[in-house]
Structure 1
Amino acid sequence: LVSYKRHLEIMGERNSYSKTDLDATFMRMKEDAMNNGQTKPGYNVQIATENQFITNYGIYWRPTDWGTMIPFLDSFRERYGTQSNEVVADSGYGNEANYAYMESNGIEAYVKYNMFHAETKRRYANNGFLVQNMYYNASEDYYVCPMGQHMERCGKQHSVSDLGYRSEVDVYRAVNCKGCPLRGMCYSSVIDRRSIKVNHRSDSFKKHARELLTSERGMMLRSSRPIEPEAVFGDIKFNHGFRRFRLKSNRKVRIEFGLVALAHNLRKYSAILSKRMMGRNHAYATI
């Protein structure tokens, strides 16, 4: 029991830890050259870039990205004393808690959510049985199913994430679905009344994000994102062979990656200066 209690104290909020590095968490890594997809102790590295310069980085124990955005943005503010006006990120960060945080801090969230690309498909848009495609009367607060039946709000449900964020979901229920000719395509439950759950606040965040992402500037930022952080990670891992931390503990790993980030920025800056000097020499030769 004493040993078990000690393990729980070391893990804290995590569900695992490495005996060789108590701060590292077991994460499912991408398959290596031998097609080994097993879990390995590691850290989740987050970076922010501008013109492929690393402007901020963070080391986290969470395997997923969605729980790292808020502390990462907080660390950016602590580092520079200000905050970015715009944030561009992929669907791994698109959840209600992150959208709410960015809205409250005056940040334009060009951040995808998990169904962003699926909503553009014809199969999704033409499916009238999906909650997102049902008509909603905001003034009287009811949905209309494909058969024209009103689905009135019958209650609320609350959930709290492991980060402590509290969400509110409204539950809507049809009067009676028994004998409906579309019932087989509508839902598969044995209950004679279909119920749907809607998070209106989350839906409003997604609607605003969709408007930003499909705007002219949003299209430009989305196209530039793959050549920003992804290109930086590729340069560090593949071009310079940094695939594994040499040090142990979160504190030492932060220092190690800080040196890697510093070296990357110096190489980038040196390459820019070299191009400028070559351009000047070329101009003088032409004259």
Structure 2
Amino acid sequence: MTRESITDPDSGFLMRDHKPRGFFYLDHRTVDAKYNIITDTYITPANVHDSVPYLDRLRAQTRTFGFCVEAVALDAGYATGHIAKTLNKEKIFAVVGYRRFKGGNVKVPKRKFSYVDTLDVYACPMGCKLSYVTTDRQGYRQYKSRPEDCQGCPLRGDCFSAKADRRTITRHVWEEEKEKLKANKRTATGKRLYKSRSWTVERSFADAKERHGYRYARGRGHTCVQEQAYMTATAQNIKKITTLEKKRA
């Protein structure tokens, strides 16, 4: 079921942890890491996932401004296989935040299973093998253990439910691309780059909310909200450029 606002059908219903629930818009903003200049602001309904418009907006900026993008720091919402594969293919050094999803097996989580690349299998904490079975339509490869291996296992009660007879682990077909981004974040450059998000894009949003009335939409409809985003970003950039020029003078 899709919820639709009767006063602003262009908006989307937001359902995220630690966020207010209701009909909102999202601003997918790009900020230059060197001078904190807003280079792009793109409005979508709140029910559109963060990762959906990212690559298109990245290409729009490189096409419009002729940017040669060397590195990007992204929130955890952008940690998808498609984005990781594209950034790696274009040789863009990317770091992405890590999101710990709720649910799943708490006592015997997936991280305790080791993937063996040469054999294309997973090894469970007790040393048993989980072999590849199939790939679903979402691109996740499924690895399953043998029922006879799990029958007498001391972890059997904590590993999976009583109704099941084996453990299943999933791995995306582009998981290796995502692991490269995780490896980037563990480097000194990656740590410094991701830390810069707090005083670039996060500070940019905070300034817009506290000083430019950006907590609420001034009008209804996508066009009005996009215009508000452009005007807010313009005002912020004028202040940034003016301050920068004074320092240079």
What's the TM-score once normalised by structure 2's chain length? 0.83
1:157–1:171 contact (8 Å) kept in structure 2: no
How far apart are 1:186 and its partner, in Å? 2.5
Which runs of 5 or more residues in structure 2 are unaligned?
none
CA distance in 2, matches of 1:29, 1:179: 41
How far apart are 1:214 and its partner, in Å? 0.9
- Counterpart in 1 of 2:69? 84
Counting only pairs closer than 5 Å after superposition, residues 29-40 of structure 1 correspond to structure 2 as: 37-40=20-23
| Residue from 79, 90, 93 that aligns with 1:94 | 79
Matched, 1:69 2:47: no
Offset from partner CA, 1:33-79 (integer Å, 9 cap, x none) = xxxx4413x21111111122101111112433232322322332342
Match of 1:159, SS state, is: coil
- Counterpart in 1 of 2:118? 139
Matched, 1:26 2:8: no
Q: 1:134 to 1:27 in 2, by over 3 A?
A: closer
Which residue type is aligned with residue 274 of structure 1? K
How far apart are 1:170 and its partner, in Å? 3.0
Larger Rg over CA atoms:
1
Matched, 1:180 2:165: no
| Residue from 218, 229, 232 that aligns with 2:204 | 232
CA RMSD of aligned residues (A): 2.8
Which residue type is aligned with residue 182 of structure 1? L
Q: 1:31 to 1:205 in 2, by over 3 A?
A: closer
Which runs of 5 or more residues in structure 1 are unaligned?
1-13, 117-123, 161-166, 278-287
Query: How many correspondences in the alignment?
Result: 241
Q: Which 4+ residue blocks in structure 1 deviate beyond 4 angstroms? A: 28-32
- Counterpart in 2 of 1:270? 242
- Identity fraction in percent: 25
Offset from partner CA, 1:112-147 (integer Å, 9 cap, x none) = 23249xxxxxxx9xx8x4333333333333332222
Q: 1:44 to 1:136 in 2, by over 3 A?
A: closer
CA distance in 2, matches of 1:271, 1:248: 33
What's the TM-score once normalised by structure 1's chain length? 0.73
CA distance in 2, matches of 1:134, 1:31: 30
Q: 1:184 to 1:197 in 2, by over 3 A?
A: same
CA distance in 2, matches of 1:244, 1:45: 12
CA distance in 2, matches of 1:38, 1:220: 33
- Counterpart in 2 of 1:104? 89
User: Quick one: higher RCO (CA 8 Å, sep 6+), 1 or 2?
Assistant: 2
1:66–1:92 contact (8 Å) kept in structure 2: yes
Matched, 1:212 2:176: no
